[in-house]
Amino acid sequence: MAEDKSSKTEKATPEQLRKAKAEGNIPRTHDLSMWLTVLAFYVLGPTALSTLFRTVTTTLHDIARIIIRPDPRQALELFANNLVAYVRIAGPIILLCMVLGSVGHLVQGGTRPNAKRFKPKWKKLNAFTGIKNLFGMQAAWTFAKTMIKFVVFGVIAYMGVKDTISMLTGTGQRSITTVLEVTGNAAYRVMLWIIVVGLVIAALDYGVERHRVEKSLRMSKDEIKRENKQQEGDPHIKGQRRARQREMGQRRMMAAVSESTVVLTNPVHVAVALRYISGEGAPQVVAKGAGLLAQRIKDEAAASGVPVVQDVILARTLFKMCEVDSYIPFELYDTIATVLAFIMRMSDIRRTEGAHPSPVKHPGWNGVDLPEDLSDEALGIAKFGAPEGASYSNTSTY
């Protein structure tokens, strides 16, 4: 067993952390929520107690008056009014205590119901395990934490009582009002210091708990290798990973489309976005897609004011020859230059007026060596389907 623990030197993987969180095995200290709740009472308590004192005094006077002159209607009215008054006094305190208590849970990872935590664990009935836990590091820290609270809180209370006695004996005044005022202020100060120290101890306790949980979740190198193999072989995880990569790639492409110079379309099945900056080399393919992705590229171009040119042959040629982020081949320089010149001659308003017919004349391609087959199958987009009987080649006309 000691060898197993000593071999677990690696930090937990994201999958291990996810499982631990799902099972409720996360660092947590109950002291934080408790002291935040006490803080809520400290903030609203004095005002609430003052209001409560006045309300109780008024209530007692009203009760005495009703006892002398019984009146059921006034008694019912008194009950209703006092019920509302006490709810108004206690409501804000209860609400703030609930909010801060919930915040204490949320900052530690939230509260997630887990049926496994309610299942009986028979190993906990093992006497040897119980004795081992009794003298373990967790028990030692719990004892140390209790002793720290006892000593520090005792010192704070002693200093508060000492200061209060000094103030009362120093003034020579003995009226009830003075005693209550001095004692109340001292208790308020003592409570503040106790809350501050309690929150500090709660933070330390959370740090200890986090270290304990991280240590318990450590893995050996063999465990990490096995987990990686399982994930790589899991079709569901593979599919999720591919979907995330696809989504991220499409997001980047859509952002690039908005900054492109022109979008060449099939016009239905294929779309290729080009970006050209004068003086920075050849035009670059910043996005390309087929089917629904092609439609998204065209929609993004329309929304961003990027001109669209319909050219079946050129769009399919670029789709087949170029990858995203690559530059157009040398053979297409003159052809793309014709398209760019056509776009540049347009006014800003006309550029965004829908798709434009291509200015390029394709027959023969002037002897340029380009792909012969530009069908859906050749482009790898057969699943999107062209109209039945349609065929495309670099010698076709549009």
Taking phi over 0 as left and psi of -120 to 50 as alpha, with beta for the rest, 104 belongs to alpha
Residue showing tokens 């900052």: 107
- The whole-number pLDDT of residue 396 equals 41
Reduce the DSSP state of residue 32 to 3 states and report it.
helix
Confidence of residue 123 (pLDDT cuts 50, 70, 90): low
In Å, the largest CA–CA distance within the chain is: 117
Which of 5-9, 13-17, 217-221 has the weakest average pLDDT? 5-9
Determine phi and psi for 265, rounding to 5 degrees: -125, 165
- Say which range, 29-38, 286-295, 337-346, has the weakest mean pLDDT: 29-38
| Residue 46 confidence (pLDDT) | 79
Confidence of residue 231 (pLDDT cuts 50, 70, 90): low
* The pLDDT of residue 175 is above 80: no
| pLDDT higher than 50, residue 338 | yes
Contacts of 51 (CB under 8 A, 6+ apart): 89
Asked whether the predicted pLDDT for residue 377 surpasses 90, the reply is no
Q: What integer pLDDT is reported at residue 68 of this predicted model?
A: 82
Among 302-316, 347-361, 368-382, top mean pLDDT goes to 302-316
Average pLDDT, the chain: 78
The pLDDT value recorded for residue 369 is 62
Q: What does residue 249 show for φ and ψ, rounded to 5 degrees? A: -65, -40
Whether 324 and 374 have beta carbons less than 8 Å apart is answered as no
Stronger pLDDT, 133 or 392, i.e. the higher one? 133
Between these two residues, 367 and 298, which has the higher pLDDT value?
A: 298
d(CA 31, CA 194): 13
Residue 297 pLDDT: 92
pLDDT at residue 387 is higher than 50: no
Q: Is the pLDDT of residue 179 over 90?
A: no
Nearest to 340 by CA among 261, 260, 271: 261
From CA 160, how far away is CA 37, in angstroms rounded? 22
User: Domain map of the chain by residue range?
Assistant: 2-112+125-222, 246-384
pTM for the model: 0.47
Q: At what angle do helices 137-171 and 176-216 cross, to 10 degrees?
A: 160
Going from the C-alpha of 327 to that of each of 203, 223, 252, 297, 336, the distances in angstroms are 56, 44, 17, 19, 12
**Helices 176-216 + 30-68 axis angle, to 10:** 150
What is the reported pLDDT for 125? 53
Q: Between the ranges 9-18, 133-142, 293-302, where is the mean pLDDT highest?
A: 293-302
For 246-384, give the CATH class: alpha beta
pLDDT digits (tens, 9 = 90+) for 76-115: 888 888 888 888 888 888 888 888 878 877 777 655 555 5
pLDDT at 389: 36
Q: Lowest-confidence range among 64-68, 147-151, 171-175, 322-326?
A: 171-175
What would the DSSP string read from start to end of 287-318? EEEETHHHHHHHHHHHHHT--EEE-HHHHHHH
Torsion of CA 283, 285, 286, 292, to 10 degrees: 140
39 contact partners, CB below 8 Å, separation of at least 6: 100, 195, 199
Q: Is 109 helix (H, G, I), strand (E, B) or coil?
A: coil
Average pLDDT of 224-234? 72
Asked if pLDDT for residue 392 goes beyond 50, the answer is no
**Residues 243-293: tens digit of each pLDDT:** 787 788 778 888 889 889 999 998 778 999 999 988 878 899 999 988 888
Q: Is the pLDDT of residue 234 over 70?
A: no
The 3-state DSSP class for residue 393 equals: strand
- State yes or no: cis peptide before 283, omega within 30 of 0: no
Least confident of 80-84, 176-180, 385-389: 385-389
- Beta-carbon contacts of 319 under 8 Å, excluding residues fewer than 6 positions away, are 270, 272, 288, 290, 379
pLDDT at 299 over 70: yes
15, 7, 21: which is closest to 213 by C-alpha? 21
pLDDT for residue 178 is more than 90: no
